[in-house]
Amino acid sequence: MTFSTEQSVTFECETGNYHTFCPISCVSWLYQKIEDSFFLVIGTKTCGYFLQNAMGVMIFAEPRYAMAELEEGDISAQLNDYEELKRLCLQIKKDRQPGVIFWIGTCTTEIIKMDLEGIAPKLETDINIPIIVARANGLDYAFTQGEDTVLAAMAHRCPDNRSSIEISQEQLKVKPDLIVFGSMPESVVNQLTYELGKQNINITGWLPSARYSDLPVIRKGSYVVGVNPFLSRTATTLMRRRKTKLIGAPFPIGPDGTRAWIEKICKIFDIKPVGLEDREKEVWNGLRKYTELIRGKSVFFMGDNLLEISLARFLIRCGMIVYEIGIPYMDKRYQGAELALLEQTCMKMKVKIPKIVEKPDNYNQIDRIRDLQPDLVITGMAHANPLEARGINTKWSVEFTFAQIHGFTNAKDILELVTRPIRRNNNLGELGAQIYSTVD
């Protein structure tokens, strides 16, 4: 294969359909992050079955979510939506006393044109609890974009300059606000806060915060930066509605992405970063046993959680060959810095830039996988078992969504997931050799 320094990213769009996990699953990590929240998912029994099955393996305590199941009477508009939702919300208030109630719209509420945004303000006044409406239907949104719609809705509720927290313009000039958006476990929040703190950069707030009452103050001109590539709607809301300045940075996934994320923030704040090169090198040295195992092996992304470009960039840097990056939705502006880092990484590793396929046709992908025979396919759960039955190693993309993969120290967790099928096969091969040698 000849390598050209003039290569650039190429994009294709195939079916125009989303073949992903349902976006209402965002409830599973958001209710844990926002400790005083309650999520009311408004949909049919099918949505309820999905939530029970999808989240049953991840919940170890009584969850703060419920289903408002739409029956035939609701769908045919024979019942009063307002009174039914008021009854449910009053019951939630009595049982849980939440700081905020989220109404999560589904495909059904979208199809029957249920006016959740019209009902919520009046009901919020009646029961005296904030109610935030977020659309998370699988017709319009891919898997992780459920979080994106929730955070975009929350961005409207963040206090501004008129809050009780006052900072003079002189102070703002010396140290501008920095708000980080994206739902992260507290351990990851602490890690990224610590890494930026070493560069004398103070994070003034996170969206979402651990409690609704602690939402960050967002002022006109505040700087905002994302930690996940699927939050383009939130970024747009913060820029257009809240008049903030978006820091276009690669995402802090892998030691290379984390370093680039911190460096871009330092550049915006006119700070010369210190020790980042050594920090990245130290992490790469700690990953050597994993990179030696996957170097030269190939991977194919079918597309599911919108983390594909960041993961592919990191795996290319680890020495893997990426045949194709399937992705359900591509915002080239929001992911512009990540795409640029992907190009730089491919040039550094002297490999061809993989093709990015938006809304891929799964049938065509299966044909390409059959021809290419990659060592690993990262895919949604629907295709994993059929591919495994045909001798193709797979890894569920949903596992990367729920794992802690951000920051320097969590790069190991990404490679634990990626190498698990390879290590399993190696162990089975060794076990088989031992059995055969014993029989002989």
The Cα angle at residue 318 between residues 347 and 341, in degrees rounded to 5:
40
| Regions of the chain short of the pLDDT cut 50 | 1-3, 57, 59-60, 163-166, 169-170, 172, 431
Tens of pLDDT, residue by residue over 105-145, are 998 888 888 889 999 999 999 999 999 999 988 888 888 88
- pLDDT recorded at residue 222: 94
**What pLDDT is attached to residue 440?**
54
User: Cα–Cα distance between 217 and 165 in angstroms, integer?
Assistant: 8
Pick the CATH number of 23-141 from 2.60.40.10, 3.40.50.1980, 1.10.10.60, 2.40.50.140: 3.40.50.1980
Going from N- to C-terminal start, the domains of the chain cover: 11-16+285-429, 23-141, 169-276
11-16+285-429 against 23-141: fold identical: yes
Query: Cα angle at 18 between 38 and 45, to 5 degrees?
Result: 45
The CATH code belonging to domain 169-276 is 3.40.50.1980
Structure confidence at residue 414 (pLDDT): 95
Q: What's the CATH architecture for 11-16+285-429? A: 3-Layer(aba) Sandwich (3.40)
Cβ-based burial of 166 (10 A; exposed 0-12, middle 13-18, buried ≥19)? exposed
pLDDT of residue 140: 84
Q: Among 423, 414, 416, 411, which Cα is nearest to 284's?
A: 411
**8 A C-beta contact, residue 331 and residue 232:** yes
pLDDT given for residue 435 in this prediction: 55
